[in-house]
Structure 1
Amino acid sequence: MYKVDLPVDESVRQAVERRRAAEAERKSRIFNTRTRVIGVDLRALHKQQGDKQERKEMEKQRDVSYDLLRLSLDEMAMHQKKEEDEVRGELARDLVQFRAIHQRAEDSRDADINYDRKGAPTTCESVPDSALGPASMQVFLGEGIKEDEKKRSQMELNEKNLRAQKEEREQRVREEKKRELLTSRVLVEKDLRAVQLNALEEECKREAQVALSHYNQAQAEERMEREQQERMRREGEELAELRYMVTSDLLTERPEAAARTTESSPNAPRVLTDRWKGMSPQQISDIHRKREEQCFEKERLREREKRRELAWDYHLTEQSRQQERDERKDMELQRERRIQLDKYNQQLAREQQAHQQFLDKQLYTNRPSVQYFTQFSTSSR
């Protein structure tokens, strides 16, 4: 028989690949610490949230700083542009002034020709050829035709332009003066208005102060009148009280005034203290007799309380002795119980030590190596 390479079943290969992919996905899910651990690290989340908020605040402050820097740079650029425009205008004005002073047309080399000065010839026939060399030719054939009219028209045009510029400059100066005059007039009006307002305000303040002073004076007069009436009323009450005290039973010292019958006022006390002038000898002897009786009664009660305290102290002493005897018995029992417990613990320790020696020397003699522990947790199954 011949060896024939049979085609591999694709479904089997795809199934194997699918199981391998599922196993890899399961391993990544099971061995991933983040998804395996139950619970959420709130502290880390709060820290991340705080860092994010702080980062947002820093970005916001940075944007605000950039905006302020951009505004300042724009202001600097505008100021610099304005200064450059002013410098450029000043240079242009200086250039025009320089040209008007040092580069006038009448001061040029051809001024005698252009402006008909110094007896310059108007035609080429009036200049002899011997007076003009090869390099000194200034008038050629065909030149200078209607040159005077052209110059005159050009001069008229220049004068017209100059007059227009002068009038425009004068008009601008007049408008500027008019504007300054209007501005100064507005400022003066504002100052006058402010002065008037200040005067009105001062007048109002002065009138308010006068009204306040009148009101305070009226209040003071009213208060003085009330105080005078109150003083007169108080003096009248004091005089009435003085008259009553002089004519009352307190200063007359009538003993009948202190006695009050129960028929006239049953709820009132029998003696009026504000009119009472002292006790009689009989009343004083009754008081001394009652005080002695109270002293005897108090002494008898004190003796009874002392006997009761002695009996109670004896009872407490006997009770404390009985308690001490019970405590000694309990201590003896606890000591015996502790001795028995120590013996039992020693026996348990000997048995545990013997069992541990049996485990270490006889049972667990084959210790597992590192490869034994590394073979676990290598698959998801």
Structure 2
Amino acid sequence: MYKVDLSSDLKEVAAIEARRNREKERHCRFFNVQNRVMGMLSGQLHLAMDMQAAQMARLEESCRVAMMSARANVNKAQAAKLAEQQHCEHQRQQEANLTDIQKQISSNLLTENPQDAQHRVLPYCWKGMTPQQQDDIRKAQEAQCREKEAQRQAEQALDNKWASQTVCLAQAALELEEQERELCAEFQRGLGSFNHQLAKDQQAQQNYLNSVIYTNQPTAQYYLQFNTSSR
């Protein structure tokens, strides 16, 4: 039997096992460091994202506050402008009312101005018209008479014009009727002359036919010579 050298094999196996263990430890150390680095990076990333989100929230809040403040300022400005317009309108209305009241107070109606009261006549204290009033009435009457006369003359001229135009139209109608009668008579004379000449021409043509063209009139014997045989 052969003797097997087991000591060298065991040493080699132990060396291989030792190398494997060292490799495992090295891998464990490497992956542990990598995990730690990845964990640190992930934590830093989450921290940066949280800080950015917080900053965005602060910016949004500041923007919202600024917009609310601007809107409030605009509303205040519009309210102030509307109040100013209403105040100006009220003041203008008050001034207009005061002006109207002053005008009414100082008007001739309330002050009873005699010049505006001339048309009012009190029967119990009327002493007749003044010469000026009588003269004004006469002038008004004369003006009315002149106007009436001018109107009458204008109407008379218009009537004369219409009458003259009617006479002219009647004369024109008579002249047209006379011309129509003359034309009808002339037409009748021309038509009679034409018919007479036409009759003479027709008679002359008939005489020519009878005396020149139709001189040899066929007799009954002429017609009997036809269809006397079978040929």
Coarse TM-score class (shorter-chain normalised): 0.5 to 0.7
Match of 1:164 among 6, 12, 30: 30
Structure 1: how far apart are the matches of 2:65 and 2:84? 28
Match of 2:14 among 148, 151, 175: 148
Distance 1:297 1:152, change over 3 A: closer
Q: Which amino acid aligns with 1:183?
A: M
Residue 313 of structure 1 corresponds to which residue in structure 2? 173
Distance 1:245 1:313, change over 3 A: farther
Structure 2: how far apart are the matches of 1:192 and 1:321? 119
Structure 1: how far apart are the matches of 2:180 and 2:60? 104
CA shift at 1:327, angstroms? 11
Query: Is the counterpart of residue 229 in structure 1 residue 95 in structure 2?
Result: yes
Structure number with larger C-alpha Rg? 2
Query: Is the counterpart of residue 204 in structure 1 residue 64 in structure 2?
Result: no
Identity %: 7
Residue 163 of structure 2 corresponds to which residue in structure 1? 303
Structure 1: how far apart are the matches of 2:187 and 2:44? 122
Q: Which amino acid aligns with 2:165?
A: E
CA shift at 1:296, angstroms? 4.4
Structure 1: how far apart are the matches of 2:187 and 2:62? 108
Q: Deviations 1:161-186 (Å, cap 9, x if unpaired)? A: 12211220221122022112201210
Match of 1:190 among 56, 61, 68: 56
Distance 1:291 1:171, change over 3 A: closer
Structure 1: how far apart are the matches of 2:49 and 2:74? 37
Structure 2: how far apart are the matches of 1:324 and 1:178? 132
Per the alignment, in what secondary structure is the counterpart of residue 9 of structure 2? coil
Structure 1: how far apart are the matches of 2:186 and 2:35? 132
Q: Which amino acid aligns with 1:301?
A: K
Residue 124 of structure 2 corresponds to which residue in structure 1? none
> Where do 1:105-116 residues align within 5 Å?
none
CA shift at 1:239, angstroms? 3.7
Structure 2: how far apart are the matches of 1:291 and 1:235? 49
Q: Which amino acid aligns with 2:70?
A: C
TM-score by length of 2: 0.58
Structure 2 residue runs of 5 or longer lacking an equivalent are 121-128, 195-231
CA shift at 1:229, angstroms? 0.8
Distance 1:246 1:311, change over 3 A: farther
Q: Deviations 1:218-255 (Å, cap 9, x if unpaired)? A: 22112211121122113323444443894254531287
Q: Which amino acid aligns with 1:243?
A: L
> Where do 1:212-251 residues align within 5 Å?
212-243=78-109, 246-247=112-113, 249-251=115-117
Q: Which amino acid aligns with 2:160?
A: R
Higher RCO (C-alpha 8 Å, min separation 6): 1
Residue 252 of structure 1 corresponds to which residue in structure 2? 118
Q: Deviations 1:324-348 (Å, cap 9, x if unpaired)? A: 999999xx9xxxxxxxxxxxxxxxx
Aligned residues: 177
Give the CA RMSD over aligned residues: 4.3
Structure 1 residue runs of 5 or longer lacking an equivalent are 1-123, 126-139, 262-270, 333-381
Query: Is the counterpart of residue 176 in structure 1 residue 42 in structure 2?
Result: yes
Structure 2: how far apart are the matches of 1:141 and 1:226? 126
Runs of 4 or more consecutive aligned structure 1 residues displaced over 3 Å after TM superposition:
238-246, 248-251, 282-301, 314-329
Q: Deviations 1:125-177 (Å, cap 9, x if unpaired)? A: 7xxxxxxxxxxxxxx79523342233123202211112211220221122022
Q: Which amino acid aligns with 2:30?
A: A
TM-score by length of 1: 0.37
The structure carrying a bigger helix percent of its residues is: 2
Structure 2: how far apart are the matches of 1:284 and 1:321? 55
